[in-house]
Amino acid sequence: MLRMGRASATAGVLRFVRAFALCVATACLLLAAGMPSPVAAQDPSKLSLQYYSKTCPNVEHVVRTEMECAVRADTRNAALMLRLHFHDCFVQGCDGSVLLDDTATMIGEKQAEQNVNSLKGFDLVDKIKEKLEAECPGTVSCADLLAIAARDAVVLVGGPYWDVPVGRLDSKKASLDLANSDIPTAQQGLLTLIAKFWEKGLDATDMVALVGSHTIGFARCENFRDRIYGDFEMTSKYNPSSEAYLSKLKEVCPRDGGDDNISAMDSHTSDVFDNAYFETLIKGEGLLNSDQAMWSSIAGYSTSDTVNKYWADPEAFFKQFSDSMVKMGNITNPAGGEVRKTCRFVNT
């Protein structure tokens, strides 16, 4: 018979509990792809549609007017604002942290691998913020500005409208480390990407719909060189016309150099928010490895059906995209914050 003292029995129980917890955590990660819906990491209940109804009733009008002007001047501005909101929400929650400039004591998120030389639109944010400060000083957060501007951006290039709950606060600090670890990259595979969205309370359906944002905007050669020359080489497996597309991409993006040359992620209609991006994936013409990963399967889990659905049914895409944008916008920073006077610096 096995005999144990009380101390070693307790240690045994603790070991068991620890092992069990680790097992559950690992299983959660691995099963993330197959589970019905993740638990939201933060409580979004403080956001509301009426938040500024007394303090800044014109907030939506002010942002919309500036966005109209900017998108009329250059439709790329729509893509810039949409991506800024995404990169804001994935780091500490939607708290304007991405907008903070470096200071003598802090290196901000603008220096993160996925942001440096790539994330743009900060001048436009400054311009909108100036107008908001003139309309209602010290009232509207930069995080809310981004959430509203991202929605307007989508609408202005033909996408769906959704109501944007507001009341976010701006963080007092940025996190370069979290920006480097939490923002997905073009080189990551389907399971990693699912896990990264899962950590933010977004499931695989949210992910596919949100990545549908790549129906507008451009990527730099640096981010798709692997796709045209490397291990993930684009082939004519799915569609013979891909060969012509591939040669065009090789002209834009040589093996060496040309890192900042750009190509549209939706080669058909990069100025319009529509569902054509999903067709490019079905043809095997996703520009980024991560784009093409959306039309793939791994470990018995596949997101291809969702891609097929959004190509067949644009309304279903628009509906899910709107819902998922609200969900992403609800990721708040539990640390709270302030309403910054200028989006680039915390208040003094």
> Residue ranges for the binding site for substrate?
184
Contact call for residues 342 and 143 (beta carbons, < 8 A): no
C-alpha 34/C-alpha 307 separation (Å) is 16
Q: Which of residues 46-85 bind ligand HEM (CB under 6 A)?
A: 76, 79-80, 82-83
C-alpha 283/C-alpha 8 separation (Å) is 61
User: Using the rule CB under 6 A, is 330 a contact of ligand HEM?
Assistant: no
C-alpha 299/C-alpha 159 separation (Å) is 33
User: Using the rule CB under 6 A, is 125 a contact of ligand HEM?
Assistant: no
Residues facing 334 on adjacent strands: none
Interface pick for ligand HEM out of 42, 58, 65, 185 (rule CB under 6 A): 185
Q: Which residue, 83 or 344, is less far from ligand HEM as judged by CB?
A: 83
Q: Which of residues 215-274 bind ligand HEM (CB under 6 A)?
A: 216-220, 223
Interface pick for ligand HEM out of 62, 194, 210, 281 (rule CB under 6 A): 210
Q: Which residue, 59 or 80, is less far from ligand HEM as judged by CB?
A: 80
Q: Which of residues 95-114 bind ligand HEM (CB under 6 A)?
A: none
Residue 249 vs residues 16, 134, 163, 222, 224: alpha-carbon distances, Å: 54, 45, 38, 12, 9
- The closest of 209, 204, 199 to 35, measured between CA atoms, is 204
Q: Which residue, 58 or 308, is less far from ligand HEM as judged by CB?
A: 308
> At closest approach, how far in Å is the CB of 279 from ligand HEM?
18
**What CA dihedral angle connects 122, 326, 207 and 25, to 10 degrees?**
110
Residue nearest to ligand HEM (CB): 217
Residue 119: is it exposed, middle or buried by C-beta count within 10 angstroms (0-12/13-18/19+)? buried
User: Using the rule CB under 6 A, is 118 a contact of ligand HEM?
Assistant: yes
User: Using the rule CB under 6 A, is 146 a contact of ligand HEM?
Assistant: no
Which positions are catalytic?
87
Contact call for residues 131 and 59 (beta carbons, < 8 A): no
Judged by the rule CB under 6 A, the positions of this chain that interact with ligand HEM are 76, 79-80, 82-83, 86, 118, 184-186, 193, 210-211, 213-214, 216-220, 223, 288, 290
